[in-house]
Amino acid sequence: MARLFLGIESSCDDTAAAVVSDDRRILSSIVADQASLHAAFGGIVPEIAARAHAEKLDIAVEAALNKACIGTSDIDTVAVTAGPGLIGGVLSGVMCAKGIATGLGRPLLGVNHLAGHALTPRLTDNVAFPYLLLLVSGGHCQLLIVSGPDSFQRLGGTLDDSPGEAFDKTARALGLPGSGGPAVEGEATSGDPERFRFPRPLLDRPDCNMSFSGLKTALVRERNALVSGSGGLSAQDRADLCASFQAAVTEILAVKAARATESYLSLNPRTPVIAVAGGVAANAEIRGGLDAVATRYGLGFVAPPSALCTDNAAMIAWAGIELDRIANTGLVPLVARPRWPLDTSQPALLGSGTKGAKA
Ligand code: KG4
Ligand code: ZN
């Protein structure tokens, strides 16, 4: 009989719980966002996020169990995001998961949030190891070879902002309402991607590293020029800025993914695949750019449905299932970790600070 894993995710601003079976069925996936709580602050306030998680986690867990039509005693294992992320939120999730697992007398697994994103293509499409993954989200951007549930080789990544941050900052700079990425993507559909030529830094370098912070600065410069030239932005200006911005991000990701593909193919994978995961992978233009790279090299392309690209707990439950299968290696002592790189063999690319690599 299939075993059921309860997944819990609270590392950023989504409170999520899900029930997933080890035969790859998502019985439920509940995601409660906190957008309205942070809207007035122009970004996520960690303390507000942590309190909201503490209040909403048990409600999310109950909803996940109800939707899956199961009771607590049907849960075989609890898997929880133990990092990286905002430490208050991670702690809220870990404490909730520890309480449930202890109360039920069931095993508890600490999952790396990034591994959750990285292993999603196996949940949705049963992709075989090793595959090339672009993990692209609000906090991260990495090209990885995924060879096992806890085996990741980083080929490159962003040296500064993540694409998600760049989308969010662009939306704010243009006064777009709602969530950054989807708002920019929506505007871009009626825009001209060639009206503005935004920078594509580091494309002349042979490695797989990327940079997105200059892109946002260039966009603000164009916006300011338009405002001072004609007294404001027209709807078309806004759409053209978004489309041109999105085209630059897509090209950077596609060129670097193509470069990573060459390293990946040297491993002679039997069923070579490029997969994409993380919130920004919900973007159709970016998916299209990567799909074209995969086609050019004769590789398969896998992009999970949008709801499984953005933060969710089904990916955490699934990563728990994968870790559980490889006995012991995944069973790290369960402490909440604000920083937790996937590939520990390499130096940090960004934000290493005094406490070690974030990603
Ligand atoms: O993976 P995620 O939900 O959270 C993190 O772990 O960071 O990613 C959130 C990020 C946000 O920056 C959001 O603006 C971006 O993903 N995003 C998108 C789209 N949907 C979400 N970016 C571009 N296009 C989208 N359709
Ligand atoms: Zn995420």
SS (H, E, C) the chain: CCCEEEEEECCCCEEEEEEEECCCCEEEEEEEECHHHHHHHCCCCHHHHHHHHHHHHHHHHHHHHHHCCCCHHHCCEEEEEEECCCHHHHHHHHHHHHHHHHHHCCCEEEEEHHHHHHHHHHHHHCCCCCEEEEEECCCCEEEEEEEECCEEEEEEEECCCCHHHHHHHHHHHCCCCCCHHHHHHHHHCCCCCCCCCCCCCCCCCCCCCECCHHHHHHHHHHHHHHHHHHCCCCHHHHHHHHHHHHHHHHHHHHHHHHHHHHHHHCCCCCCCEEEEECHHHHCHHHHHHHHHHHHHHCCEEECCCHHHHCCCCHHHHHHHHHHHHCCCCCCCCCCCCCCCCCCCCCCCCCCCCCCCCCC
Q: Mean pLDDT across the chain, nearest whole number?
A: 92
| Domain-located, residue 51 | yes
Pull the structure tokens for residue 214.
């200059």
Domain of residue 79, residue span? 4-118+309-326
| Domain-located, residue 265 | no
Return the pLDDT at 329. 47
Higher pLDDT, 111 or 337: 111
What is the residue type of 54? Answer: A
Residue 330 predicted with pLDDT over 70: no
| Domain-located, residue 317 | yes
pTM of the model: 0.92
Residue 147 predicted with pLDDT over 50: yes
Range with the largest mean pLDDT of 54-58, 173-177, 208-212 = 208-212
Whole-number Å distance, alpha carbon 232 to ligand 2 midpoint, is: 35
Return the pLDDT at 242. 98
Residue 280 in contact with ligand 1 by CB distance below 6 A: yes
| Domain-located, residue 341 | no
Whole-number Å distance, alpha carbon 317 to ligand 2 midpoint, is: 14
| Domain-located, residue 202 | no
Residue 332 predicted with pLDDT over 60: no
| Domain-located, residue 91 | yes
- Tens of pLDDT along 14-61? 899 999 999 999 999 999 887 888 877 777 888 888 888 889 999 999
Whole-number Å distance, alpha carbon 52 to ligand 2 midpoint, is: 18
Using the atom order of ligand 1, give the atom closest to the CA of residue 162.
12
| Domain-located, residue 355 | no
Residue 282 in contact with ligand 1 by CB distance below 6 A: yes
Residue 283 in contact with ligand 1 by CB distance below 6 A: yes
| Position 267 confidence tier, pLDDT thresholds 50, 70, 90 | very high
Residue 83 in contact with ligand 1 by CB distance below 6 A: no
CATH number for the domain that contains residue 16:
3.30.420.40
| Domain-located, residue 129 | no
What is the number of structural domains in the chain?
A: 1
Whole-number Å distance, alpha carbon 117 to ligand 2 midpoint, is: 7
Using the atom order of ligand 1, give the atom closest to the CA of residue 85.
6
